Amino acid sequence: MPLAPNAIDFNAVGQVFATQSGPLTALDAVNLSIAQHEFVAVLGPSGCGKSTLLRLTAGLMLPSEGQVSVFRHPVTRPRDDVGIVFQQPTLLPWANVLDNVTFPARHKRGRVSALDRDRAAEVIAAVGLKGFEARLPAELSGGMQQRVGIARALFLNPDILLMDEPFSALDALTRDAMGYELLKLWQASPKTVMFITHSIPEAVLLADRVIVMSARPGRIIADLQVPLGRPRDELALRAPEVQDFAAHLRELLIAKEPAL
């Protein structure tokens, strides 16, 4: 594979939040490069600054120290080529599936064009919700709601997809199914993905590379290639070297997790 340009670069990034009990260091000296079309999972305990990483990339906050760049441009505000999928689907309860997916157009430009509707039909079909366009979110299962969330993020065809524990609110079976579905989507239309998770199996199943973070202050303690080719399936995941890799990740996480 030819060397692709970096999509995301963190250069000595630190993030300090002012809280009632004094400053809180969420990120400390984070250096990270993610290549274009690379699928990177960020793995870590709660409160390790995983979400901060995502919000910095999205331009929703600016770093206290260092620099975050997307396609070699310093991030100073939200960009058009970044899509976000949140932990909860956070759909508009009054809008049907189609209107939820086209929401970015309506919200950004004030109108939804015929072209937008075509694009929406495309992404709705891609996430397997064809025929459900007129349903309200309350009429959908949790997994289907999150598919709408993904379709909404894909709608503007971003180069970079930021996913903040998108499947953590789903039951285990749906979660696995959604993982495979996401891989299919990603293979059909490659994007740079930053996937925040605290699930080791999920990280191993999905990612090319796993970044392991420690809790407060958030630091990168390991940056590992997943020893698995693509496409992936149940069988490949059961290979001994993959199991060893998962065990290694677990050790890294436990070693850094403060005693309970």
Partner 1 sequence: MSADVEPHAKRAGAVPAAPTRKAPGLPLTERLIATPVVLPLLTFAVILVLWEVATRVFAVPSFILPAPSRIIDGFGAVPPARWSAHVWATLRVALLGYLVAIVVSLPIAIGLAKSRLMSRALYPLLVVIQSVPVVAVAPIIIVVLGTDDAPRVVITFMIAFFPLVVSMTTGLMATPPELIELSRSLRAPGYREISQIRLPYAVPYIFSGLKISVTLAVIGAVVAEFVAADVGIGFFIQFSTSMFRLPQAWAGLVVLVAMSLILFQAVSLAQRVFFPWSLPKERR
Of residues 151-210, those binding partner 1 (CB under 8 A):
173-174, 177, 180-181
CB distance 49 to 26 below 8 Å? yes
Tokens for 95?
């809008």
Closest alpha carbon to 57 in 44, 45, 71, 46: 71
Q: Please give the Cα distance from 95 to 131 (Å, whole number).
A: 16
The distance of closest approach from Cβ of residue 143 to partner 1 in the complex, given in angstroms and rounded to an integer, is 5
Q: End-to-end CA distance of the chain: give it in Å, rounded.
A: 44
Give whichever of 186 and 245 is closer to partner 1, judged by the CB atom: 186
Among 35, 60, 183, 242, binds partner 1 (CB under 8 A): 60
Among 26, 30, 58, 194, binds partner 1 (CB under 8 A): 58
Which residue in 16, 35, 92, 221 binds partner 1 (CB under 8 A)? 92
Distance CA 123, CA 160 (A): 16
Per CB under 8 A, the segment of 1-9, 63-71, 81-89, 116-124 that binds partner 1 is 81-89
Q: Rule CB under 8 A: is residue 90 a binding residue for partner 1?
A: yes
93, 139 Cβ separation under 8 angstroms: no
Instruction: List the x/- string, 102-141, binding to partner 1 by CB under 8 A.
Output: -xx-xxx-x-----------------xx--x---x-x--x
The β-bridge partners of 162 are 84, 194
Number of residues binding to partner 1, judged by CB under 8 A: 34
* Per CB under 8 A, 59 contacts partner 1: yes
Please, which residue, 178 or 252, has the CB nearer to partner 1?
178
CB of residue 134 to partner 1, shortest distance in Å: 13
Radius of gyration of the chain (CA): 18
Task: Decide whether 75 or 220 has the Cβ nearer to partner 1.
Answer: 75
Angle 220-196-104 from CA coordinates, rounded to 5°: 135
The interface region with partner 1, picked from 19-27, 33-41, 52-60, 212-220 by CB under 8 A, is: 52-60
Distance CA 237, CA 255 (A): 24
Tell me if residue 97 falls in helix, strand or coil.
Answer: helix
CA–CA separation, 174 and 188 (whole Å): 21
Of 118, 206, 111, nearest to 155 by C-alpha is: 118
Contact residues for partner 1, defined by CB under 8 A: 55, 58-60, 77-78, 82, 84, 86-88, 90, 92-94, 103-104, 106-108, 110, 128-129, 132, 136, 138, 141, 143-144, 173-174, 177, 180-181
